[in-house]
Amino acid sequence: MNKSANFTGQPIFSQVLKLIDPSLVNRSARKLGTDRYYKKFTTYNHLVTMLYTIFHKCSSIREVVTGMQVCSQRLNHLGLNYSPRRSTFSEGNTKRNSRVFESIYLQLYKQYRGILPDSRLKTRWFSKLYIVDSTTISLFKEILKNAGTRSLSGKRKGGIKVHALIKATEDVPQVIKMTAAAKHDTPFIKGLKLAKGSIIVFDKGYLNHNQFDLWTKEKISWVTRRRASAVYDLKEENTVSVNQKSKGVISDQNIVLGHTSHNDVTRVEARLVRYLDKKNNKIFEFITNNKTLAPATIALIYKHRWQIETLFKRLKQNYPLEYFLGESENAIRIQIWCALIADLLIKIIQSKLKRKWSTANLNSMIRIHLMTYIKLYEFLNNPEKSLINEKDKMYRGPTLF
């Protein structure tokens, strides 16, 4: 029976890869020289192999290589002319500059960011909101040491900290930096470029008075929590309306952050909002430079910071970031960048579907049918009907008329 009678289109993996222009990968490779000294295992081949790893949740190089060998007859559809050996793949993870995968991710983000925003926006300020946070990925080897507390043996596991800036309407990182887990959070916010009128929210770990002062001068609003040790002087009490009190606002004050013990400390004019979370019966203190938004809105803006936590949770649950294919820092960075690329591709596919999928379910469907010959979007919009149609074609066989 002719294969064309059994299947339609190309493997789902091939259709996913069409979202990545090979010329984009090749430009990044030429710029960074990452194809030098490689005869077959080019940057594009490496990217495809890593995405196969990510989508199939492979936990070892052997799984990747044997899995691709089984599908060797279908590799041409992926733009590959051979399946890499274990030694070649391992060497690529160790030696190929991870910055090339960073470049690929950022170019893909720039290309597709126009289709990422959520159309269900409710407020004007939400479209201007940016969120900053970090997450630590623990490593079982002492690479990028000092993640977490010391064990009873006195040793620490290695760890890498991923810092991210996301726009709330897009839900994928637009700025990413990876550091050792022991590094402080504060340096990440230095030099972040935001448009006038933007609102940025972050946890109290990113305390930096100089940056706060710079953002105020640039007409950028910032919202964070007050550290218990933060020093400030009270300037005046603002009136809190009955409506705002009913929403949980306790007080609204104008303050000046920073102590006066020496002259080189930057003092920042700010606003301190005390808010009662009635659900948990807990009081929070928020500081901001925005003097126009209602105090309850300031609390709501900070509440939206949970969105980046769900991003980190999504990455850790849906992509293989527990076991790494290499023990070098470079291999770890490559795997994290490729997980980010895979997540961006999933978000792009989600934006093109009529049917609503959760990220976890969509990842599962793509993983199970990664090398199945079926039209991607028709399948994901109606999986059961598409599979029944393909099964009917197999039983009918080729038609003569």
Give the model's confidence band at 46: pLDDT under 50 very low, under 70 low, under 90 confident, else very high: very high
- % of the chain surpassing 90 pLDDT: 60
| pLDDT for the residue numbered 332 | 92
| pLDDT for the residue numbered 5 | 41
The side-by-side arrangement of strands in the sheet containing 221-225 is: 173-180, 158-167, 129-139, 199-201, 221-225, 282-288, 268-277, 249-257, 232-238
Total Cβ atoms within 10 A of residue 397: 11
Q: What phi and psi values does residue 249 have, to the nearest 5 degrees?
A: -75, 125
Question: Could you read off the pLDDT of 18-41 as tens digits, one per residue?
Answer: 999 999 999 999 999 999 988 889
| pLDDT for the residue numbered 262 | 65
Buried b (16+ CB within 10 A) or exposed e, 268-283: bebbbbbbbeeeeeee
Averaged pLDDT of the chain: 86
Question: Could you read off the pLDDT of 214-231 as tens digits, one per residue?
Answer: 999 999 999 999 988 888
Residue 286 lies inside a defined structural domain of this protein: no
Residue 356 lies inside a defined structural domain of this protein: yes
The answer to whether 163 touches 185, Cβ cutoff 8 Å, is yes
| pLDDT for the residue numbered 384 | 76
Give the whole-angstrom CA distance, residue 236 versus residue 200: 25
**Cα torsion 198, 199, 200, 204: sign:** positive
The answer to whether 32 touches 334, Cβ cutoff 8 Å, is no
The answer to whether 146 touches 183, Cβ cutoff 8 Å, is no
Residue 173 lies inside a defined structural domain of this protein: no
Question: Could you read off the pLDDT of 282-324 as tens digits, one per residue?
Answer: 999 999 999 999 999 999 999 999 999 999 999 999 998 888 8
Give the model's confidence band at 391: pLDDT under 50 very low, under 70 low, under 90 confident, else very high: low
Residue 117 lies inside a defined structural domain of this protein: no
Tokens of residue 345, six digits: 């591709």
| pLDDT for the residue numbered 19 | 96
Residue 146 confidence (pLDDT) above 80: no
Average pLDDT over residues 107-119: 87
Residue 346 lies inside a defined structural domain of this protein: yes
The enclosing H or E element of 299 equals: helix 295-303
| pLDDT for the residue numbered 311 | 93
Residue 212 lies inside a defined structural domain of this protein: no
Question: Could you read off the pLDDT of 150-209 as tens digits, one per residue?
Answer: 444 545 556 888 999 999 999 899 999 998 877 878 889 988 889 999 999 999 988 888
Question: Could you read off the pLDDT of 114-140 as tens digits, one per residue?
Answer: 988 765 556 788 889 999 999 988 775
The answer to whether 117 touches 169, Cβ cutoff 8 Å, is yes
| pLDDT for the residue numbered 69 | 87
Amino acid at 213: D
Question: Could you read off the pLDDT of 355-370 as tens digits, one per residue?
Answer: 989 899 999 999 999 9
> How many domains are contained in the chain?
1
Give the whole-angstrom CA distance, residue 225 versus residue 201: 9
Q: What's the half-sphere exposure (Cβ side, CA atoms, 13 Å) at 76?
A: 1
**What is the widest separation between alpha-carbon atoms in the chain?**
92
Question: Could you read off the pLDDT of 244-256 as tens digits, one per residue?
Answer: 999 999 999 999 9
Strands 199-201 and 268-277: unpaired
The DSSP string of 333-362 is HHHHHHHHHHHHHHHHHHHH-SS---HHHH
Residue 159 lies inside a defined structural domain of this protein: no
| 251 Cβ contact partners less than 8 Å away, ≥ 6 residues apart | 237, 240, 272, 273, 274
The DSSP string of 22-37 is HHHHHHHHHHHTTTTT
Bridge partners for 133 per DSSP: 164
Residue 391 lies inside a defined structural domain of this protein: yes
Q: Which domain holds residue 50?
A: 3-103+324-396
| pLDDT for the residue numbered 388 | 56
More confident residue, 394 or 378: 378
